[in-house]
C-alpha cells in the first residue's frame, strides 16, 4: 500500500491554492499564450520582433524582478534601472573583454547585480515605505554615477561599450528571430523560477513581511535573510534584463538608457499590471511600453486617412501623451488592483458560470 500523499490530506481550499493554474480558463489561456509566443513570431516581421516583442520581453523580466520585491515582499524600490545598468555592463565586460560564454555571462550579470542589490537592500532592514524609496533612489544615482567614473569599466569616454558578435557555442545570434527566441527562453526560465519561488516557503515569508512585518518577525521569519533575498532576486532579474538589452536588442551598453525615468516606468508597469502578480508584470510592461507606440501609430494612420492638412504633426505627437495619460488614470480608477486582477475576475466568473451550468 502506498503512503498517503500529504497533499491529499490538505483541505480543498489549500489544494486549490497550490495548483499552478486554478481555473480551466487559465490553463486554456496559458496554452494559447505559449502557442502564440512559440509558433507565431516566425511569421511576424522584424518590426514586431525587434520593435515590439524583444523590448517587451526584456522589460517584462525587469518588471518581474521588481514585482518580486515590491509586489511580494512589499519593499518599494526606484533603483531597478540601475540594476539593469549593472547587468548590461557586467555582461558586456564579461563577454566582450574576457570571452566568457553567453549563458555564464548572463548568470554573472545577474549575480553581480544581485550582489549590489544586497548592499542596496540593507537600509530596508531599518526603514520602509517612502524612506526606503528615497534610499533606493540614491542607489539609482550612485550606481549610474559610478559606472561612468570607474576607469576599469571603460565607459568613461562615451559611456557606451559595444559588444562583439554574439555567439552561443557555434550559433550566432544576429537575426531578429534568433534574438527573440533567445530572450523568450531566458524569460521563460526566469518566469517559471519566479512562479515557483513566490509559491514556496520563501514567497510566503515575503508575503508575510509585506502584510505585517512585525507579525512576521514574531512568527520567526528572519528579516535580514528574506528582505535581502528579495532585493537580490529583484536585482538578479534586473541584471539579466540589462544583459539582454546588450546581447539581444541594442548591441551596446549605454549608461544613459538606465536613468531614473526607466526605474519610474518599471514601477508604473507593476502598479498598472498588478502588484504581486507574475502575469501582471507582463501585462504592465505591455501596457507602459507598447500602448504609447500603438497610440502613436494609430493616430499617425488616422492622420494619413483624414488627409493630413488639418492637424500638425506636433499636435499629434502631444496628443499621444494626453491619450496615454488619460488611459492610465482611467485604469487606476476602474481597476486599482491592476490588469492582472481584471483577468482573475474574468476567469473566476467564467469558472463560476461553468460550475453552475454543470450543476443544473
Where along the sequence are the contacts to other proteins (CB under 8 A)? 45-48, 50-52, 55, 96, 148, 156-165, 174, 249-252, 254-257, 289-298, 300-301, 303-305, 308, 313-314, 316-318, 320-321, 327, 330-331, 334-335, 339, 342, 345-346
d(CA 321, CA 316): 9
Count CB neighbours of 358 within 10 A.
7
Q: How far is the CB of 55 from other proteins (least distance, A)?
A: 6
Nearest CB to other proteins, comparing residues 90 and 161: 161
Q: Between residues 99 and 129, which has the closer beta carbon with respect to other proteins? A: 99
CB nearer to other proteins: pick between 196 and 301: 301
Shortest distance in whole angstroms from residue 228 CB to other proteins? 30
Could you give the CA distance from residue 76 to residue 123 in angstroms, rounded to a whole number?
12
Minimum distance, C-beta of residue 24 to other proteins, in the bound complex (Å): 18
Give whichever of 84 and 208 is closer to other proteins, judged by the CB atom: 84
Angstrom distance (rounded) from CA 252 to CA 15: 47
The label of the residue with cell 528571430 reads 177
Maximum alpha-carbon separation in the chain: 82
Tell me how far, at minimum, the Cβ of 46 lies from other proteins, in Å. Answer: 6
Query: Scanning the structure block, which residue is given the C-alpha cell 521569519?
Result: 221
Q: Return d(Cα 202, Cα 221) in angstroms, integer.
A: 10
Closest separation in Å from C-beta 355 to other proteins: 18
Residue whose CB is less far from other proteins, 99 or 103: 99
CB of 239 to other proteins, least distance (A): 19
What beta strand segments (E) does the chain contain? 160-162, 167-168, 171-172, 252-254
Helix (H, G, I), strand (E, B) or coil at 74: coil
Task: Give one DSSP letter per residue of 297-320, joined into a string.
Answer: HHHHHHHHHHTSSSS-HHHHHHHH
CB nearer other proteins, residue 74 or residue 79: 79
Q: Tell me whether residue 207 or residue 259 sits nearer to other proteins (CB atom).
A: 259
173: left (phi over 0), alpha (psi -120 to 50) or beta: beta
- The DSSP code sequence of 154-221 is T-TTTSEEEPPPPEETTEE--SHHHHHHHHHHHHHHHHHHHHHHHHSHHHHHHHHHHH-HHHHHHTT-
Residues in the chain: 360
Rg (CA), the chain: 22
- Report, in Å, the least distance between residue 356 CB and other proteins: 17
| CB nearer other proteins, residue 15 or residue 256 | 256
Could you tell me the smallest distance in angstroms from the CB atom of residue 5 to other proteins?
A: 37
Q: What minimum distance in Å lies between the beta carbon of 80 and other proteins?
A: 15
Which CB sits closer to other proteins, 126 or 149? 149
DSSP for 263-275, written as a single string: HHHHHHHHHHH-T
The count of C-alpha atoms lying within 13 angstroms of the C-alpha of 326, restricted to the half-sphere facing its C-beta, is: 7
Amino acid at each position: 500500500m502506498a503512503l498517503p500523499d500529504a497533499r491529499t490530506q490538505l483541505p480543498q481550499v489549500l489544494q486549490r491554492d497550490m495548483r499552478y493554474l486554478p481555473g480551466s480558463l487559465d490553463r486554456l489561456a496559458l496554452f494559447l499564450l505559449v502557442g502564440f509566443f512559440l509558433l507565431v513570431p516566425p511569421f511576424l516581421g522584424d518590426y514586431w520582433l525587434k520593435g515590439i516583442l524583444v523590448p517587451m520581453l526584456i522589460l517584462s523580466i525587469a518588471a518581474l524582478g521588481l514585482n518580486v520585491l515590491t509586489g511580494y515582499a512589499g519593499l518599494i524600490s526606484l533603483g531597478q534601472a540601475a540594476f539593469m545598468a549593472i547587468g548590461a555592463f557586467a555582461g558586456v565586460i564579461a563577454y566582450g573583454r574576457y570571452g566568457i560564454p553567453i549563458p555564464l555571462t548572463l548568470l554573472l550579470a545577474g549575480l553581480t547585480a544581485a550582489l549590489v542589490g544586497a548592499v542596496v537592500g540593507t537600509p530596508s532592514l531599518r526603514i520602509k515605505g517612502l524612506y526606503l524609496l528615497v534610499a533606493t533612489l540614491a542607489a539609482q544615482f550612485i550606481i549610474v554615477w559610478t559606472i561612468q567614473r570607474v576607469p576599469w569599466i571603460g565607459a568613461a569616454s562615451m559611456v557606451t561599450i559595444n559588444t562583439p558578435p554574439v555567439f552561443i557555442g557555434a550559433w550566432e545570434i544576429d537575426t531578429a528571430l534568433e534574438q527573440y527566441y533567445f530572450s523568450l527562453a531566458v524569460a521563460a526560465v526566469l518566469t517559471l523560477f519566479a512562479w515557483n519561488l513566490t509559491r514556496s516557503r520563501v514567497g510566503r515569508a515575503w508575503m508575510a513581511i509585506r502584510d505585517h512585518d512585525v507579525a512576521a518577525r514574531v512568527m520567526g521569519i528572519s528579516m535580514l535573510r528574506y528582505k535581502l533575498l528579495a532585493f537580490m532576486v529583484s536585482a538578479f532579474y534586473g541584471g539579466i534584463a540589462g544583459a539582454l538589452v546588450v546581447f539581444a536588442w541594442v548591441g551596446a551598453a549605454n549608461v544613459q538608457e538606465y536613468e531614473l525615468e526607466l526605474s519610474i516606468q518599471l514601477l508604473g508597469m507593476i502598479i498598472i499590471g498588478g502588484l504581486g502578480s507574475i502575469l501582471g508584470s507582463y501585462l504592465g510592461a505591455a501596457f507602459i511600453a507598447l500602448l504609447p507606440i500603438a497610440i502613436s501609430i494609430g493616430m499617425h494612420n488616422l492622420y494619413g486617412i483624414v488627409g493630413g492638412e488639418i492637424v500638425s504633426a506636433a499636435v499629434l505627437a502631444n496628443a499621444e501623451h494626453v491619450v496615454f495619460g488619460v488611459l492610465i488614470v482611467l485604469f487606476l480608477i476602474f481597476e486599482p488592483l491592476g490588469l492582472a486582477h481584471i483577468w482573475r475576475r474574468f476567469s473566476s466568473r467564467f469558472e463560476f458560470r461553468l460550475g453552475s451550468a454543470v450543476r443544473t
